[in-house]
Structure 1
């Protein structure tokens, strides 16, 4: 499967989100930006993303997944700091 597929799946499942999933083989990194994360702990944010990709994790298509989640404001502040 292509990484675009995983990014699209996340974007379709989390309102007004932008997802970028990169990786090599079965190891992936996900960056998801959405105001839906406002007020949620990091753990709850990650659980949302894992739930969306769970089928692909269980099938082995995704073996390892590193997740970074941001609200739009957090992403803007993070991008400016870089």
Structure 2
């Protein structure tokens, strides 16, 4: 799995976001910092991130993803 592919999809879904993608192959750790998460519960935040990369999960390019989704205030 190319981190560029993941970053591209995250950028499409979270235009104001900052991203950190680490990992190799089809297992990655992702941190997304975005105002889009303000007021949302952790599960809903993860659902939004999964939605951004769902096509990669479906086609098998991405098998395991560990998500950390934060607002800018939480990331400070």
| Structure 2 equivalent of residue 18 of structure 1 | 18
2:73 & 2:62 partners in 1: Cα distance?
29
Unaligned runs of 5+ in 1: 77-82
Which structure has more relative contact order (CA 8 Å, sep 6+)? It is 2
1:1-82 equivalent positions in 2, closer than 5 A: 1-76=1-76
Secondary structure class of the residue paired with 1:48: helix
- Following TM superposition, where does structure 1 have runs of at least 4 consecutive aligned residues deviating by more than 4 angstroms? none
Higher alpha-carbon Rg: 1
Unaligned runs of 5+ in 2: none
More helix by share: 1
TM-fit CA distance, 1:15: 3.2
What value does the CA root-mean-square deviation take over the aligned residues?
1.0
Aligned length: 76
1:25-74 per-residue CA deviation (whole Å, 9 max, x = no partner) reads: 11011000001100000000000000110010011100100000110010
